[in-house]
Structure formats: structure tokens, C-alpha cells
Amino acid sequence: LVRLRARLSRSNSVFGKGLLALLSSDKLDEEVWEEIEDTLLTADVGIQDATAIVENLRERVQVLGTRDPAELKRLLREELTAVLDPDMDRSINTTGAEGKPAPVLVVGVNGAGKTTTCGKIARVLVADGNKVVLGAADTFRAAAAEQLSSWGDRVGVPVVRRDEGADPASVAFEAVKEGDEQGADVVLVDTAGRLQNKAGLMDELGKVKRVIEKREPITETLLIIDATTGQNGLRQAEVFSQVTDVSGVVLTKLDGSAKGGIVIAVQRALGVPVKLVGLGEGPDDLAPFEVEGFVDALVD
């Protein structure tokens, strides 16, 4: 796993640097505070948190009466840290029942990066000494199973797949069964995310979930969100959290986005932590989300 801070340096610091520059303006008047709020909104921090950050900062700057850049930076760092909630548990739960594999369900809209993220996570789990099975329950696109299989080959992990059009729930069930028979520690189940047919998708995912849980309780449901899709991505995310028990978010494509504020908006909208972030298309481009490293990348 790569360290978040080193990898976020360029694109994301645009937003933090912008805020710092504004805070260091000659006079911190109404107009500047509005610009600070706009900068937060442009970086996809939601309105509620953008307003709260500005109000808190404004009050603290006034109380301290400070214009010292180091002090202002400290205040900004503290406000961003607080709103990101550093106390949330960001570990991935891969502890199944005694002697049984832990099923991890991966959901999200098509193109968000589900299959790629399954491959990257499998790689990390294998490197940590886990036995992993991948389940290709996105049977809508033949290419999805193909893509997951090539990740399986790359990482050295078996992939349970069926023909295009097969019942996703039965593929998921087979994958967990296979994991059990092979003595696997974790079964990662990739799913389809066609939002064009919302009712159909809900039914399908609900069934995938129920069928897996006939064998083993799901230990983690990861919702994959493309960081570049902004508010639209958030609305889609809410659909998934209505049918599955989303326990964590993987925010992908943060490498191509200067809108790091989406982390704050996602956590606010879904009430679950961002646990991992995708920083590129390659197998190494996955990092655990750490609040401190993220805030450092923004403001340092």
C-alpha cells in the first residue's frame, strides 16, 4: 500500500493552498470569507460542512485576533481534521466466523472502479498472508468477468465466474461456497451497477446480499465512488446504501481530482467512513485513508 500523503501532493493541495492564501489576505473581510466558502464548495465539500468550517474558523480567528500564517494554518488544519472525523474506524473487517471465509461485498455504479478496486484489495490481502477468492457477480457485462479474471491471474487468486447473463446471486453464492471449500480467509464479490434500471438493480443487489448471508454474514460492504463525479456520485451512492449495509467507502480516481472535499461530503451523506482511496489504475494505486496524512497533503 502506498502512503496517501506522498501521492496526493499535487492535485489536492490546490484546494488547501487556495484556502491558506485567502486566510492570509491583507484584510479578512466578508468578501474573503465568502471566497473561502466558495473554495470549499468548489472542492466538493458539501454546503453544511463548508458553512460550519467557515463559521468556526471565523470565530476562532476573531477570538485569537491573529494574522500569523502559521497560526492560521494550524486553525485550518484543526477544522478540516475535525470535520473528517479522525475517530471513525477505517479498518476493513475481514474477520469471518471461526474457520469460515469473510464475505466482502463490493458495490457501486458502473465505471466507478469496482473491478479494479477488487483486484487491488485482493493484492493487498494476499500480501498480508490471506487466502482470497474473487467472485465475478457482475454477469451483465462479459467484459467485467474477463477483467476480474485477469486481476485474479495477476494477483494469483482464483476467480469464480459464470457466463454472461447468469444469475448474479448464484455466482455470489458459489464464490462463498468455493471460498469455504478452499479454506479461504476472504471472498471478495464484485457486482454490477447499472443505474438505468434502478428497481432491477435494487432487487438484484438485495438478492445477492441475502444469498451470501444464507452461508456467511457479510463482514464488509464497500461502496465504490468515483471522486470526479461530485454531487452526482453522491446521489448514486445513496441508492446503494438503501439496499446494502454500506460499511465503508472506497473513493477512486482521487489522483485525477482537485476536489478532495468530496471525502467530507461522502462521509456526511452516508454516515460511514472513507476507508480506502484509489490513486491510479495500477495494482499499487490504493491507499488507506488517513485523516492526518490527507489534511497534511492539503495544507502543507
Annotated binding-site ranges for GTP: 108-115, 190-194, 252-255
Closest by CA to 164, choosing from 192, 145, 150, is 145
Q: Decide if residue 114 touches ligand GDP (CB under 6 A).
A: yes
Q: Decide if residue 253 touches ligand GDP (CB under 6 A).
A: yes
Which span (53-61, 62-70, 108-116, 292-300) binds ligand GDP, by CB under 6 A?
108-116
Q: Decide if residue 113 touches ligand GDP (CB under 6 A).
A: yes
Residue 30 CB burial class (10 angstroms; 0-12, 13-18, ≥19)? exposed
Which span (113-121, 207-215, 265-273, 287-295) binds ligand GDP, by CB under 6 A?
113-121
Element (H, E) at 221: strand 220-226
* Among the listed residues 102, 285, 287, 289, the single contact to ligand GDP using CB under 6 A: 285
Q: Decide if residue 279 touches ligand GDP (CB under 6 A).
A: yes
CB 139, min distance to ligand GDP, A: 13
CB 95, min distance to ligand GDP, A: 26
Q: Decide if residue 108 touches ligand GDP (CB under 6 A).
A: yes
Q: Are 131 and 178 in contact (CB under 8 A)?
A: no
Q: Are 162 and 110 in contact (CB under 8 A)?
A: no
Eight-state DSSP code of residue 195: G
Q: How far is CA 208 from CA 105, 146, 173, 218, in A?
A: 9, 20, 8, 11
Cα(96)–Cα(93) distance, integer angstroms: 8
Q: Decide if residue 178 touches ligand GDP (CB under 6 A).
A: no
For ligand GDP (CB under 6 A), the number of binding residues is 19
CB 106, min distance to ligand GDP, A: 9
Q: Are 262 and 230 in contact (CB under 8 A)?
A: yes
